[in-house]
Structure 1
Amino acid sequence: LVGAVIALFIFDLFRLRKLIMAVYGIILFSLISLILIDNLFYVGVAMGLVGVCCGIGLAGAALVISRTYETERRASMLVITDGSFSVAGIVCSWFAIFLVAQEFHWSGVYQFVALITAAIIFLSLKSTFPATETETHDSTTSEKWPLTVWLCIVGLFLYTLGQWSFLLWLPTYAETELGTPRDQAGQLASQFWTGMFAAQLFVAWWVLKVGVPRLVMIAGITTSLFSIPLWISKDINVLIFLSALWGFANLSLLKVVLSFATQMLRQPTARLVSTLLLGATIGTA
């Protein structure tokens, strides 16, 4: 959340390449330091720095995509980044379990992430980034955000707030009201993310066919409608299936709305992208 707030203005102060390399350099240093740190306070500081920098890096990645791709292809690439997050979660979870089973140091999985961070820094050094420094010179003549952009920001906040509230409530409801074992109740959230990942793969292709505005309308309707059976069903096996179905029915709505909002300006600015992500982040907090 702090990183998302900082991202509102920091992209106006530094060139994108230098900022990305600095941010991921701090992440790399913080992760490597976990090998040497024994004090829990300093572990918290290191992880806090990682969190702040990840918030900035997420906004930077979305900005690069928004500036590099146009319309439907932009939405497709943003959805693919969501799919990458899902794959990363699966891989890192599996790798963490493996390292714990092999009795490696507790920070082993973070060192694996540190290697990926080092690769990002190397790729940033070799890659071409879209220019953002012209925004500072043209700030006096920059476009005013239309009401529809603000509605998208509010919509992203309400969407993530509702999604996370539902995912926190559903397993608890299954465990306390339906008497479901805790491990089975936990499958409700995991099945949602499985369905969401399948939707990300599908939407990355489908958005190129139907267009972003139409997909926003479809995803909004399906997300709402497919949540209703989850309130009604009393069978845990049915709920697990419905949870996966609801995850798919979300159709990567968050990144599709983000792409939709960036199309409302002639040139998507760093502040616009950061504000959209901040709205979504506040909803999860």
Structure 2
Amino acid sequence: MVTDDTDGNEPESSPTASDIPMLGLGTWQNEDPDQCAETVRTALETGYRHIDTAQIYDNEAAVGEGIERADVDREDVFLATKIWISNLAREDVLKTARESLDRLGVEYVDVLYVHWPARTYDPEETLEAFTELHEEGQIENVGVSNFLPEQVAEATAVSDVPILANQVELHPLLPQDDVREACAAHDIEVVAYSPLARGAVFDEPVLQEIAADHGVSEARVSLAWLREKGVIAIPKATSEAHIRDNWGSLSLELSADEIDAIDAIETNDRQVDPGFAPWN
């Protein structure tokens, strides 16, 4: 039976690796406006302080509404969005980033990501536009997403603003050791999207055994493992039960043997694999 140790015993705030709360809320495929807004409000009032969206998710307005509804100051929320691959030419970055701010109803975002290094992405031109937005105060930090090690190195070399984070698919079934090592070498945080492998972690025997030993869900085990690796996770959740269950991962401590057992899982199961991805 899964226990909910968040009841009456919730951490006051998420732990941080830098300025990014270690646990955030992902909003991909949360497209119903009212549901999305309520999901964001519920997460923030549960204790989350990191909300992630993107232009392509078509829910920036709802995310902004959820932040507005929550009894949490905007300044206390680490808010991220991403520029889609068709908008990465310099003028398109500037135009669509400002449109994203308008939809979100905010004056700035805490990090703006290059969503994928694809289609209209040009390292110098694209990141020059991000620098301009940073200088204007419309973005606090520059991020990249789905970048391979060599692309991380290139972005770091050409960007006038330090790259804060690289957001990639990462979970016990896709540990991304090479990406994590490259980011560490450049002092870049790693943010994990799809940290539950779209539910595949629930069927992994190693995670099932550890979860049973602790009386928690496999989701909590996966998120706790990521935290032990210094990886920030942004699991998607829409129901209050799942929002709270993921939040409970912050109080789960894994033993060294449990971490080693998860590390030994011999799987590379990529869930997000579009044709324009840099590894294809």
Give TM class, smaller chain. under 0.3
TM-score between the two structures when normalised by the length of structure 2 = 0.27
TM-score between the two structures when normalised by the length of structure 1 = 0.27
Rg comparison, structure with higher value: 1
Q: Which has the higher helix share?
A: 1
Q: Which has the higher strand share?
A: 2
Q: Which has the higher contact order (CA 8 A, sep 6+)?
A: 1
